[in-house]
Amino acid sequence: MNDTVEACVEALKAGRLAILPTETVYGLAADAARPEAVAAIFEAKGRPRFNPLIAHVADPEQAAAIGELDGAALKLCEAFWPGPLTIVAPVRAGDRVCDLARAGLNSVALRMPGHPEARAVIAAFGGPVVAPSANRSGRPSPTTFSDAVAETGTFAAAALDGGPCGVGVESTVVSIVDGGVSLLRPGAVTRSEIEALVGPLSDKGQGHRSPGRLTSHYAPDAPLRIEAVSTAPGEILLGFGPGVGDPRWSLSPTGDLREAAARLFRLFREADRESPSGIAVSPIPLEGLGEAINDRLRRAAGFVG
Ligand code: TXA
Ligand code: MG
Residue 130 counted as domain residue: yes
Please tell me if the CB atom of residue 210 comes closer than 6 angstroms to any atom of ligand 1.
yes
> Of the bound ligands, which one is closest to the alpha carbon of residue 173?
1
226 with 107, same domain: the answer is: no
Single residue among 181, 211, 241 that ends a domain in this structure:
211
- The runs of H, that is alpha helices, within the chain are 5-13, 35-45, 60-66, 71-80, 99-102, 116-125, 145-152, 191-198, 206-209, 257-273, 290-300
Residue 37 counted as domain residue: yes
The CA 172 to ligand 2 mean position distance, Å, reads 12
- Radius of gyration of the CA atoms of the chain, in A: 18
The CATH number of residue 9's host domain is 3.90.870.10
Single residue among 180, 211, 242 that ends a domain in this structure:
211
164 with 254, same domain: the answer is: no
pLDDT tens for the chain, 305 residues long, are 789 999 999 999 999 999 999 999 999 999 999 988 988 898 888 865 667 999 999 999 999 999 999 999 999 999 999 999 999 999 997 789 998 898 888 899 999 999 999 999 999 999 999 999 999 988 999 999 999 999 999 999 999 999 999 999 999 999 997 778 999 999 999 999 999 999 999 875 444 445 444 445 567 899 999 999 999 999 999 999 999 999 999 999 999 988 888 888 889 989 999 999 999 999 999 988 788 789 889 988 887 54
38 with 107, same domain: the answer is: yes
Question: 111: Cβ–Cβ under 8 A, 6 or more apart, which residues?
Answer: 54, 55, 56, 57, 84, 85, 86, 87, 171
CA nearest ligand 1 atom 15, residue: 132
Q: What is the pLDDT of residue 214?
A: 47
Q: What domain range includes position 98?
A: 5-211
Residue 273 counted as domain residue: yes
Residue 305 counted as domain residue: no
43 with 81, same domain: the answer is: yes
Annotated binding-site ranges for ATP: 47, 51, 133, 141, 185, 218
Please tell me if the CB atom of residue 52 comes closer than 6 angstroms to any atom of ligand 1.
yes
Question: Is the distance from CB of 166 to CB of 20 less than 8 angstroms?
Answer: no
Residue 147 counted as domain residue: yes
Name the domain count of the chain.
2
Q: What is the pLDDT of residue 47?
A: 63
228 with 176, same domain: the answer is: no
The ligand 1 atom nearest the CA atom of 188: 1
The CATH number of residue 295's host domain is 3.40.50.11030
CA nearest ligand 1 atom 10, residue: 132
The Cα–Cα gap between 81 and 171 comes to: 11
80 with 158, same domain: the answer is: yes
The Cα–Cα gap between 100 and 50 comes to: 7
108 with 78, same domain: the answer is: yes
HSE (CB half, 13 Å, CA atoms) of 204?
3
Q: Is the dihedral of CA 242, 284, 289, 57 positive or negative?
A: positive
The CA 229 to ligand 1 mean position distance, Å, reads 33
157 with 240, same domain: the answer is: no
Annotated binding-site ranges for L-threonine: 24, 56, 111, 131, 171
Residue 40 counted as domain residue: yes
155 with 52, same domain: the answer is: yes
Please tell me if the CB atom of residue 294 comes closer than 6 angstroms to any atom of ligand 1.
no
ipTM score for this prediction: 0.98
155 with 255, same domain: the answer is: no
129 with 65, same domain: the answer is: yes
The ligand 1 atom nearest the CA atom of 109: 26
175 with 222, same domain: the answer is: no
User: pTM to 2 decimals?
Assistant: 0.86
Single residue among 211, 228, 246 that ends a domain in this structure:
211
